Amino acid sequence: MQEAMSPSDPTPQRASPSIWAILRRRWWLIAAIVVGAVVVTLIVTVSAPPTYRSSLRLQALALDDQEVALYTRRSSGGVSEQIALTQFNFNETLQNSLIAWRTIRDLDLAISASQLLGDLSTSAAGDFVTVTYDADTPQQAMDVLNRHVENALAYYNEIRARPASVSGQFVSSELASQGQVLRRAQDALLQFQLEHNVGDLPREINAVQDALRSLAAARDGAQIQASQAETLAQHYQAQADATAAELTAAQQALAELSGAAETPTAEQQASSDAQAALVAELSRTAAEQRSAARAQQALAAGLRTVSSQNERLLNQRAGDLAQLIGLSSDYNTLQAEVDSALADYDFLRGKAAEARLKEAQAISVGSLQVVDPAFLPSEPGGSSPLRLALLAAVVSLLVGLVAAMLLEFVSPTRVQP
C-alpha cells in the first residue's frame, strides 16, 4: 500500500542527462566550431604565399678546452658533455638578435630580427646540428641560412677564443716582465764572472783539481826517480872505488915487474904486458863508473829540482782552488737565480705558445664544422592544406566537446516528464 505524499515533502530531483543526450542537443555548437576551424584553416593556408625551406647541417667537435691553465687544469667533462654544451651554446648564438641584425644588414633584408628568428629552427641529433630557415623565395631561404650560420659561427668562434686570447695577453705581459728579470740575473752573473775572471766555476774547480792531481803525481814520480838515481850513483861510486883499489894493486904489481930485471925474459915481458893491459882496463872501467855515478847524481839533482818546482806549483794551484771554492757560494746563488728565472721564462713562453695555438684553433677551426651546406629548395615546404585542415578538425572537435559540456553545466537543458 502506497503512503500518501504530504504537502511538506521535497520536490523530486531531476535526473542528470547522459553524455550522448548532451551531444544530441548541442551538436550544432560542435559542428559550428569544427566547420569554422576547418574553413579558417583552409582560407589561411590557401591564401598564404608559398614558403620555401632550406636546411644546413653542422657537426660538433670535442676540441680541447680553450682555457690556458697555468697550474691546475679544470676537468671539462667527457666528449658527450662537451658536444652537448657546444650544441646548446651554438643554438643560443643562432637565436641572438645581434646575429640576426648582422644577417639582415649583410643581405639588406626588409624584415626584423624577430621575423628572421621566427622562421629559423634548429634540432640536434647525436654530434650533428640541423638548422632550417623558411622564406618566401628559394634563393632567400638559402642565402639567409648560409649568411646567418656564417655570422653565428664567426661570433661563436670569437667567443670561444676569448678565454685563450685573454690568457694569452696576460701570459705575454708576464713573459715580458720575466724576460727583464732573466736579463738582470744573467747580467749579474756575467759581471761576477768578469770581475773574478771565471767562466763556469764548477768546471774551473774541476780543472784545478785535475791539475793538482797531475802535479802531485809528477812530483811523486820525480822524487821516486831521484831516489833511484841517487841509489844508482852510490852503486856506481862504490864500484868505482873498488875498481880504483884494484887499479892501485895492479899498478904496484906492474911496477914490481918492471923493476925486477933490466933485461926481462920473454916470459917476464909477456907477464908485464898482461899486467899493463889489466891496468889500462881497470883505469878505463873506473873512469866509466865514476862518469856513470856523476850522471846519476846529476839526474837526481835535476829530478829534485823538478820535484821542487812541482811542489811550488802545487802550492800555487791549491791557493787558486781555495780562492775558487770561496767564490762558490756567491756564484751558486747567482746561477740559481738565473736558472729559476730561465725556468719561469720557458714556462711562460710555452703557455704563450699554447694560448696562441688555442686562439688560432678556436677562430680558424672552431668546434662546429658545416658538413651539409644549405641547398636551394626546388618546391615549397611545410604541410599540405588538407593535412592542416584535418588537424584543425580534430582539434576543433575536441574543443567543441569541451564547450558543449561547459555550456550544459552552465545552462542545463530541462528534461520534459
pLDDT at residue 8 greater than cutoff 70? no
Are 328 and 209 in contact by the 8 Å Cβ rule? The answer is no
Spatial separation of the C-alpha atoms in residues 124 and 91, rounded to whole Å: 9
Spatial separation of the C-alpha atoms in residues 272 and 267, rounded to whole Å: 9
Beta bridge partners of 59: 128, 369
How distant, in Å, are the alpha carbons of 29, 243, 304 from that of 236? 154, 10, 19
How distant, in Å, are the alpha carbons of 75, 144, 146, 311, 416 from that of 93? 24, 15, 15, 86, 66
Grid coordinates in use for 30? 560542435
Amino acid identity of 216? A
Spatial separation of the C-alpha atoms in residues 403 and 399, rounded to whole Å: 6
Spatial separation of the C-alpha atoms in residues 256 and 259, rounded to whole Å: 5
Helices of type H across 55-126: 79-94, 97-107, 113-118
Give CA torsion, residues 10, 15, 16, 21, to 10 deg: -150
Q: Which pLDDT tens digit goes with each residue over 160-215?
A: 888 888 888 889 999 999 999 999 999 999 999 999 888 888 998 999 999 999 99
Q: Which pLDDT tens digit goes with each residue over 61-115?
A: 877 666 666 665 655 557 788 888 888 989 999 999 999 999 999 999 888 999 9
Q: Which pLDDT tens digit goes with each residue over 338-385?
A: 999 999 999 999 989 988 888 888 888 778 888 888 888 866 655 556
Are 343 and 214 in contact by the 8 Å Cβ rule? The answer is no
What is the SS3 assignment for 133?
Answer: strand
Amino acid identity of 330? D
How distant, in Å, are the alpha carbons of 90, 209, 218, 270, 359 from that of 251? 129, 62, 48, 16, 113
Grid coordinates in use for 293? 855515478
pTM: 0.58
